[in-house]
Amino acid sequence: MRYFMDISYKGTNFSGWQIQPNGITVQEEIEKALSTILQKEISIVGSGRTDAGVHAKQQIAHFDVDNIDPEKLALKLNSFLSDDISINSVIPVKDDVSARFEASSRKYHYHIHQTKSPFKIGQSYYFRPALEIDKINKACEIIKDWKNFECFSKVHTEVNHFNCDIFDAKWTQNESDHLFEITANRFLRGMVRAIVGTLLDVGLNKTSLEELKGILESNDRGKAGRAVPAEGLYLQEVNYPKDIYLN
């Protein structure tokens, strides 16, 4: 039987989501805990990768196993896992559903603070210069109407195409804190951090709105802004069609 796990994690101490030869990853830690509890080798498939240092308020992963109590399993997992990872729920789904391929939308948040705070280290990007928020949101409208985001993708990425449907993108400010929210059907590797870096250049008047259009048209990662630090990025939400769930 197939189950979805709803997972949260602080990415500071991990080398990303996906298992790799060098470095501790979130997927590896959860698979170890699952295999220990269930006394059999268990593999999980996430809705997507997050890079080293990136956090998740909601990551979804699927796995297959028979004869479990989902609520009890979630409790046991939370007792095994470090404080950096929590299993929010384990939910039965249809057997042919993939956490990776069936997601209808994904939402990311990027957090910036402009007043120094020891409590935000590793969880938000400290960036002091003043920004023109109205201009940034005009840039967001341009991005929302675009389709091909090769200019914001890490180079040498193995994908069939660079097209993404952006459902929403906006930038808000609350006193000295800034929040960028973006929702799409899919994201390319490094895409959100490159978009934020480019939007910061727009907000600093280093890049005009016309120049932003030129960057998008170029399909050239070298013309876009820098990738901002991972610490401010959160996989916020992953959504699926309601008919995939059994309960």
Q: Print burial letters for 74-95: b (CB count within 10 Å at least 16), e (below 16).
A: bebbeeebeebbebeebbebee
Residues 92 and 112 in one domain: no
What is the distance between the alpha carbons of residues 123 and 232, in angstroms, rounded to a whole number?
5
Residues annotated as part of the active site: 51
Q: Is the pTM of this model over 0.85?
A: yes
The amino acid present at 66, given as its one-letter code, is D
On whether the CB atoms of residues 48 and 235 are closer than 8 A, the answer is yes
pLDDT tens across the length of the chain (247 residues): 999 999 999 999 999 999 999 999 999 999 999 999 999 999 999 999 999 999 999 999 999 999 899 999 999 999 999 999 999 999 999 999 999 999 999 999 999 999 999 999 999 999 999 999 999 999 999 999 999 999 999 988 889 999 999 999 999 999 999 999 999 999 999 999 999 999 999 999 999 999 999 999 999 999 999 999 999 999 999 999 999 998 6
Can you give the CATH number for the domain in which 216 is found? 3.30.70.660
Q: 112, 125 in Cβ contact below 8 A? A: yes
| Rounded Cα gap, residues 22 and 244, in angstroms | 35
User: Which two structure tokens, joined as six digits, stand for 114?
Assistant: 């402009």
Q: Which of 102, 130, 147 is the last residue of a domain?
A: 102
On whether the CB atoms of residues 199 and 208 are closer than 8 A, the answer is no
Which residue range is the domain that position 19 belongs to? 2-102
Structurally, the chain folds into a number of domains equal to 2
Q: Which two tokens stand for residue 169?
A: 């993108």
- Note whether 137 and 179 are same-domain residues: yes
**Measuring CA to CA, how many Å separate 157 from each of 154, 169, 187, 221, 232?**
6, 23, 12, 12, 23
